[in-house]
Each structure stands twice: as C-alpha cells, then as structure tokens.
Chain A
C-alpha cells in the first residue's frame, strides 16, 4: 500500500510541471499588454512602461519568465501581484475561505443527496421519488447565478435570515447560504446517482440472499445496500470537490466571498501570470491529493478492490 502511495506521489511531479508550463504559456499567450491596461485610457510614457515590465519580468522571453518563476517557487517565492502583495500571502488568505465553502457545500450535498437518493431508491415509483426527481431536474436546469440571486434576495434581503454577503473573515454562519447555493447543482447529481445505485444494488443477489436469511431491513439497508451504492457517489464527490474549489467563481462574486474563484478571476482579467499559475498549481495539487484519497477510500468501501491489487 505505501509503495502505491509513493508511486502516485511521484507521478504528481511531471503532472505539476506540465500543468504549470501550460498555464504559464497560456497566460503569456493572452493578447494585450497587462501593464498598459493598468493605466486605463491614459497612455504612460515608454520609460514608465518599461520599468514596470522589467519589474514583473514581462520584458523577458516566455521561457526565461517561466524558469524565473519556477526558480522562485523553489526559493519559496511565488512572486508578487500587480498590487505588490506576495502571491503566497494571497494564497494563504483565499484558499482557507474557499476550502471552508467547498467543504460546507460538500457536506450539504452529501447529507441531502444521499439521504433523499436512498429514500427515493428504496421507494422507487412512489410520490416521494417522483417529486424528488422533479425537484432535482429543476435544480439541474437552473443556472447557478439564478439560484444564487434568488436565494440572496429571498433569504438575505426579504427574510433577513442570512447576511446578504459574506462578512469579514468569512465566518461559517455567513458561508451557509452560499454553500447551500453551491451545493444545489451537485446535490441533484448525487441524489440521482445514489437513487440509481440503490435501485441497482437492491436487485442484486446478495441483497436477496441477506433478506432470505431473515436479516432485518435496518441491517440490510445501511450495510448491504448503502455501502455498496456509495462507490460511484464517492467517485463523483472527489471530482466534484475539485469543481467546487474552482467553480465557486460565480457564487463567490455574488456573495462577495474573498476566496479563490473571485481572486483568480481578477488575476486572469489583469493578466497576472504568477498569481494565476500559483493558484492553478495549488488547485492541481488538491485534485491530485483528493483523487489519491478517493482511490484509497475505494479499498475501504469495497474489499474486492483491496485484494485485487
């Protein structure tokens, strides 16, 4: 098992190098001079432009810039944003916020998705099942910004149950509403996935065997049906966690969450190479680690995978 983990971690190195190179290349290839854009509709004298380009290494060829950036990483220096703030500080300030938001969203979609999916699957064709399917269909088809704006208007402004936007320090209670909004779309997927999986597992031989042995339903549902139904759901959750980390941009904008999505978006618009690449590198790392964790979790959920090695 430990050899497997080490091998997986070593594989991460070329993946990281490849992604940072690609991202850096894409930021570099973005047309337009980011320094010029800092001045709005005014045009500064050339010597000011040149001095600023030099400061951010933008006057050097792409490959030199990339290796300067890489060298910086090994010295623990991720560069500075155009606002003069070290990128490492921005990372340290924004990632915990988005992580909290994503974990909270995962929590909501897991609890709601798995519970409702399980009940729906067990009562296939019933009224509960039918209405759950309709609601999930609506949620899947609504764009997230519509859900976000309506939630903000109804629960934030009209009912006053939540703050309309997230306050300083992004406390958990402020993050609940955006997390629920963020959870809605994946909730529908998880609910449907769990339902299908429960129906599938419910018809399997081992479930029938367990029932014929006289085991109570209280024991069959969690141990035999739910546990075996969770494998596709866990896989989905892993992918979804990455998506949530990255895809929170819209929600973070609407609820003014000082997180990764909002910051990365602004960095892309401004063409801040080091900021964009650093953020993406951390995201790739998170993807890799979460996928590794999921692969390990498989073994826990399904002993056959453990032994098949």
Chain B
C-alpha cells in the first residue's frame, strides 16, 4: 500500500512558479535508439525502502520499485495490466483451485544458481511461515492450503513435482490466482538468502532485468544503483545501461531535480505542480489512469445508516457530491470521477453497471432521498468524515462536506486525525464513530482484488464491517470460474449490490502523473503508475 508522503510548502512553489522557467539546455536528443543500442544509465526518483530488500518483507512502493527491477516472477504485467508469462512456461487449472505451474528451464539467479520449482516453493514457504518477517505473507498466501496452521514449517498446498514443475492447492477456488503471481511477494529467492536474510536484504541477489551494481550499491537514504543483468533473457530485456534510483524525502525536491536536469524520469508530481507540469513538460509528461480507488466508508453501526433508512441516506450522500467539480478544481484534473468500485485500468472494468447512476451529481434527487429517510427516522447530529491530516486530504474532505451541507441542508464537516497511524488505529479497533476516508491501491490487476478484501463479510480490510450474503456468494462464484470473462461478469453483478448498499461512497480514481527529461524516450507508465524502466532509451 502506498503511504503518501507529505507535501511541503505548496504556497512557496506557487509563488516561485510565477517566475518563468528556463527549459533544459541540452538539445539534440537523437531519436535513433535501435533496440538494445542505448547504454546510458537512466536516473529516476524513488524513496528509501522501509524494509530490507527481500520480496517477502516489502509492502511499500519505495522498495517495491527496486524489487520489480531486480527480480522476475512467474508473470509480469504489461502497461495495460494484462499478465504475461515471464518465468512461467504455463499456469494451468481445471477447477480454479488446483494449479500446475511449469517454469522455463535453464534460467539462473545472478549468482549462477539455477532457478527451479524448489526456488519458488522455498521462497513462498519462507514468506508465509516466518510471520515476524513477512509483512506480505499473511495477505498473499492465506489462500494457499495449509496456511491456517501457523506452526507448520511448510504450506501443505505447495508440492514440487520435478525441477521445473510444482503444484499449488488453494483452500478454495480463486480464478484470479494467476494474476497475482507478478506481485513481488511471489518472487523466487536463491538458497543463499536463507543463510542470513538480513545480509541478503542488504545485497539482494535476484533474477530480473537489472541487478545491484556490486556490494553496497544500496546507499541508505541516498540512492541505489542498478546495472543490466546480462543473463536475463525474458520479455523485460533492458534497452538502457542501468537504473540509478535516487531517494527523495519530498516530491518537491524530486521535481526540482527534474527541472534542474539532474533526473531523467519522475513518476510523482508534487501537488504544487499538478496544475502546471503538463505545460512545463510538453509531450514529456503523462496523466493516465492508475489502479487506485478512493472513497469514504460509512460503517453500518453508525446511527441512521443501517437498513432501508441507511440505503436512502447513503444514496442521498452519493448524489449530493459533485465529483466532476471537485476533481477539476481541487485536483486539477488529476483524479477521474469514479464509475464503479474498481479501477479503469483493470480488465473487466465497466461504466455501465446498473445502479452506478447513484454516482451522478443531482442535488434535488439527493434532497428527496434524504427526506424519504427522514420519514423513517428524522436525522439528527453532524455528518463527519475522518481523515489523516498528514496526507493532504483536507481540501477534498472540506469540499465534500460543503456539497453535503448545500444539497442536504445538514451539518457536515471533516474530522482530522493528526497522523495516519492514529486514524488507522481508530479504524482498526472500531472506536471511530464517523465516516472515514478509505482507499485501495490494486496489488495486482484484477477486479476481485478491489472487491474481495474490502467488502466480503469479515474480510481483512472490511473496515466498515459490511456484510451481504448475496454479495459474498457472487464473489465466491466469480472466483470459482476458470474463465476470466465469466468471472468478471460475476464481479460486476456483485458491484450492482454494492451500488444499492453503498458500504463505501466511491469518489474518484487516482491518476499516474509523471514527466521526463529531453534525454530519454519511449517512456511508458504501467497499470500501477510506475514507469516500465526497461523499455526507456536515453541518448548518450
């Protein structure tokens, strides 16, 4: 989950931005670059990894970006989010519950060790069964058979058949399991890793398009230098000379470096530059959909928000919010109004789901719905939306509160919590007595990933304690299908139920915002908002 860094001093940049900026002076970027011709090193922004560089232990973007460059998994994700085999020869299943995975033979880690089925099984067992280490394990491996027993050293659902084949048994059918396998938690590790995991995390040995530029390439809090892995022979073959990832404490500093010519590719535009960066970097910037869904959740335990009255009030609130205006004015068009509960970059996304018109702004209808609810039980009190004040949420929360005040004539306001930790604690122990902001960044490009973990009864991130047996059943049916298209139909039917119950009010999708220098070409951003570094070329 990406934990947003705090932007500083928007005012200063706005003031400073009034001065005109001189462009980069290095002209003459040659547009040539045959495949593999470029040997120049790309510099890009990153942040100090919060954990050792071990796939199992990393769950934030700073470390994830590095791991994705130095490791290759069974599948990888194309820019459009489709999963393509990388190390896998084939991933087969007849029942969406028992999978047979064949891997390509002859592939090696950068220390020369061959990658076998055992490399995967060992890494997955390590990730799931050493829980004090594995921030990811619990989440990604809980569906594999045998996970329920934390004392077992190995998952009973994993079996090595031969050097290049292993089988996975899930505790229940999950059709999107193959889509998951590109996520870093599923990367293989060489056997040397288990001898001293801390030392390994400092100088990880991987199998991806890039590798560390020698021992100590990770300069803590400053940068990490990656060079091309000459032995990598897969779909992500690098066409540049390497990757220097510079760690920034603020997005402003990274943006200044792009302006100053110290940085080639930037994938995070600071709030203060959102309105101007596309003009400043014409033809060298991107503003495209990303797999981030944003909402606020109204727990059903709040008075007036359960049963039929609750449904009416939730629909009224949703209709009272002018998403177009807020995304335009407050986010300078860098958010897209939501049309469903997932994300436009996911296969199976649809804007035509019955009931989704509840997301359209209509204040008179909102008033009617609110009045109908009042007829059941008159409204009293204040409607509040809790948010963490360290994450830049105040502007939109205030705007939404204003919408509600104007359309429904009720008292509405934001309820700030000083830090993210405080908000999460209040949400987690259920002491929170207001609505609160929620969001979901897709871990892998699948519809079910945006629905199952959040709205299924008792699911891990079901912070609003939503429960609807019909919804649960549809998700389960979808997960039992082996055909992705049929599965997605079920997930869309499940969303119809969400549109009636509105356990969370969908707001908008985040977009990926980035820009790059004149020196680089072929910059493409992936479904997760991270550039596909291996395909970037740079003139010398």
Chain A: residues with CB nearer than 8 A to chain B? 30-34, 36-45, 47-48, 51-52, 54-55, 82-85, 89-90, 93-94, 143, 145-146, 148-150, 152-154, 156-158, 160, 163-165, 167-169, 250, 252-256, 258, 262-263, 265-266, 269-271
Q: Can you pick out 17 interface pairs between chain A and chain B where the beta carbons lie within 8 Å of each other?
A: A30-B421, A31-B418, A31-B419, A33-B421, A40-B59, A41-B438, A47-B150, A51-B131, A84-B198, A93-B221, A148-B12, A150-B15, A157-B21, A165-B253, A168-B223, A253-B250, A254-B9
Residue of A nearest to B439 (CB): A41
- CA distance in complex: A54, B59 (Å): 20
Cβ-defined contact, B253 with A31, below 8 A: no
Q: Which residues of B contact A154 (CB under 8 A)?
A: 19
Q: A31-B425, A143-B12, A157-B256 are in contact. List 19 more A-B contacts (CB 8 A).
A: A30-B421, A39-B59, A40-B1, A44-B138, A48-B132, A48-B138, A51-B132, A90-B220, A149-B13, A153-B16, A153-B21, A156-B256, A158-B21, A164-B256, A165-B257, A168-B222, A254-B253, A256-B249, A269-B419
Query: Residue B363 at the A interface, CB < 8 A?
Result: no
Contact with A along B417-436 (1 / 0, CB 8 A): 11111111100100000000
- CA distance in complex: A40, B138 (Å): 15
Q: Which residues of B contact A34 (CB under 8 A)?
A: 421
- CA distance in complex: A164, B425 (Å): 38
Q: Which residues of A contact B131 (CB under 8 A)?
A: 47-48, 51
Cβ-defined contact, B12 with A146, below 8 A: yes
- CA distance in complex: A156, B262 (Å): 10
Residue among B60, B131, B249 with the highest chain A CB neighbour number at 10 A: B249
Cβ-defined contact, B422 with A31, below 8 A: yes
- CA distance in complex: A258, B247 (Å): 9
Residue among B131, B390, B422, B424 with the highest chain A CB neighbour number at 10 A: B424
Contact with A along B8-44 (1 / 0, CB 8 A): 1100110110010110010000000000000000000
Cβ-defined contact, B9 with A145, below 8 A: yes
- CA distance in complex: A250, B132 (Å): 35
Q: Which residues of B contact A48 (CB under 8 A)?
A: 131-132, 134-135, 137-138
Cβ-defined contact, A44 with B460, below 8 A: yes
Rounded to whole Å, the gap between the CB of B151 and the closest CB of chain A is 11
Residue of A nearest to B198 (CB): A84
Interface-lining segment among B45-53, B336-344, B510-518: B45-53
Cβ-defined contact, B135 with A44, below 8 A: yes
Residue of B nearest to A55 (CB): B132
Cβ-defined contact, B424 with A32, below 8 A: yes
Name the one of A30, A39, A84 contacting B52, with C-beta atoms under 8 angstroms. Answer: A84
Residue of A nearest to B252 (CB): A254
Cβ-defined contact, B221 with A253, below 8 A: no
Residue of B nearest to A262 (CB): B249
Residue of B nearest to A164 (CB): B260
- Counting contact residues on chain B (CB < 8 A from A), the size range is 35 or more
* Complex interface residues of chain B between 390 and 442 (CB less than 8 A to chain A): 390, 417-425, 428, 438-441
Rounded to whole Å, the gap between the CB of A16 and the closest CB of chain B is 26
Name the one of A32, A93, A146 contacting B419, with C-beta atoms under 8 angstroms. Answer: A32
Contact with A along B82-111 (1 / 0, CB 8 A): 000000000000000000000000000000
Residue of B nearest to A84 (CB): B52
Q: Which residues of A contact B333 (CB under 8 A)?
A: none
Q: Which 9 A-B pairs have the closest CB atoms?
A: A40-B1, A32-B421, A164-B260, A32-B422, A37-B421, A51-B132, A256-B253, A149-B12, A145-B9
Q: Which residues of B contact A143 (CB under 8 A)?
A: 12
Q: Which residues of B contact A83 (CB under 8 A)?
A: 48-52
Name the one of B221, B420, B460 contacting A43, with C-beta atoms under 8 angstroms. Answer: B460
Rounded to whole Å, the gap between the CB of B33 and the closest CB of chain A is 27
Q: Which residues of A contact B417 (CB under 8 A)?
A: 32
Cβ-defined contact, A36 with B15, below 8 A: no
Q: Which residues of A contact B201 (CB under 8 A)?
A: 84
Cβ-defined contact, A41 with B50, below 8 A: no
- CA distance in complex: A156, B19 (Å): 14
Query: Residue B3 at the A interface, CB < 8 A?
Result: yes
- CA distance in complex: A91, B424 (Å): 29
Cβ-defined contact, B262 with A165, below 8 A: yes
